[in-house]
Structure 1
Amino acid sequence: MIDIARVAGVSPMTVSRAFKSEGSVSETTRAAILQAAEDLGYVFDSTASNLRSQRSDFVAVTIPSLNNANFADTVGGLSEGLKARQLQILLGYTNYDILEEERLIEQLLRRRPGAIVVTGGRHTPRARRLLENAGIPVIETWDLPEAPIGHVVGFSNAAAVRGMVDHFVRQGLTRIAFIGGDADRDTRGSDRRAGFVAAMQAQGLAVDRLIAAGPPPISMREGATAMGRLIDTMPDTQAVICVSDLSAFGALTECQRRGLAVPGRYSIAGFGDYDIAAVAVPSLTTINPFSRAIGTKAAALILDVLDGRQDGPALLPITPELLIRESSR
């Protein structure tokens, strides 16, 4: 600011007032100051201002995966919703590890964010304590936790998969398998598997076709490998529900390599409504979780809380949509 004041021929205090758009600075003087800042490549340091106001200009966010289109859409919706208030996102990557999530939450909270958005509703006891005592809005997403910490924007992963099972049973398919990942790491994938098990049991069907595909995130290759094991060990399977569209696409390609018709010999479904599900041949039956809407709703909720329009914890449910496509017809 001293450098800008010297170039503009004003005092450092006038520079400060110009950046705050105070009326005591004329438009001519403000224009000269802003031009000097532009010429010098000056970037306003908001740290001291944030300390004085006790308000931050960023929101902390944790996501399990950087290359997952669903989480990218959620972050995109969140970023777009916060843009009008010039709130930025500080992103933490947990790699589906709740211990890493705990470490990141502590690191992010040290930077005093205006709010924190976490993916999922299951955390370590210490991470939960950190969030409960953070003194800022906490939004849990992509889940419907039994004991929310603060606000929730999400859905029941188990209920979503139950609807998929019911769809297959209505088609007369009873020998249904589930391809998923490491249940200890991917809590949402674990919930989907639990929903599969509950739905099969409710229909009076055997739950003996649970195929583990490795640690999350499950890739197309791992989906193909898991489908190969299923075909080799339980060839009488009629339908397969995969934990994600990527693993479902891998399962589809394994069937095509072996000359097994989809649909016909097998029906296959995924989860997430990725672009690849719509363009695959055949197109993949899937579940649309409205991932971008999760981010948009979370952003609107943050602004409501910060502006005092939201009193008390909010629960904003998302209703996933079953998209029946060619792979299960």
Structure 2
Amino acid sequence: MTSLTPKHISFESEEDVFDQKLLDCLPGVFYLYKIDSDGYKMKRMNEYHLDVFGYTEEECQDKSPLFFLDPDYHSQVLDAIMDLREKRVRTQVYANIITKAGQSIPFLFEGHLVMIGEEEYFTGLGLNISELITAKQQLQILEMEKKKILREKELKDKELLALALKENQNEILLNRISKQLKNIEENTNPDLIEEQLKPITKLITNHSRFQDGWSQFQEAFIGIHQDFFKNLKGMHPELTEKEIRFCAYLRIKMNPTDLCMLMNISKEGLKKKRYRIRQKLHLNQNQELDEYIGLL
């Protein structure tokens, strides 16, 4: 491959200020463009530039920078060059190059103004950022997957909450009906309704025993938070079954009102229960109970 020689550019001295061997050792594509009244013309490049773009030295000579770029980036690259010329400080711009084979590759370019004799040039390096883009995309995908999993868990926790409340309401309703029927049975002529009420009372009582709301909730809960009970009991074996149940409700972010109803306690009783559990979990003042439970 023939290297460009000083004959392409008039320097103040015969010494080529751009040593080609040095340029070929650079970690990116090197470019040097002459700023003319009719545009920007490439005058120098390194071997890496030729390898990446796939054009020969002759094909690159006098080409505009836009020749090598995706048209979608032409406007912002021209703006960057104008900004470089006006502010006379280094400028960076992202753009996709288009190789001779038609491949699109993301690059980060950094430009500097250079005066050679009385003529103005801009020069710089372009770095392939494909791996960075890929890594960023992978992180974005992982973040999206994480958010998706969290949303699905939140939805399932809401379903658990609805199940717990539904089973509790069923139990309250059945108990209320059972009490009413028992009252009728005790205060009405037994000869008239005894035979009819007893089967109903028995059916409701059996149904209430069969409908174990906590067991159903626990089974559904384990399907979502598989190791919660195992971790909680393993780390804190001193917790009672009711306290474990209470912690499970905290794990799905049940509000205090529903907690009081399900645990059949007052608001004051709720505070006492939270305090006792904090003591058993050995939490310090800076640790939140709900946050700790959420990590199990």
Short-chain TM bin = under 0.3
Q: TM-score, normalised by structure 2?
A: 0.24
User: Who wins on radius of gyration, i.e. which is larger?
Assistant: 2
Bigger proportion of residues as helix: 2
Which of the pair has the greater relative contact order for Cα pairs under 8 Å at 6+ separation? 1
Q: TM-score, normalised by structure 1?
A: 0.22
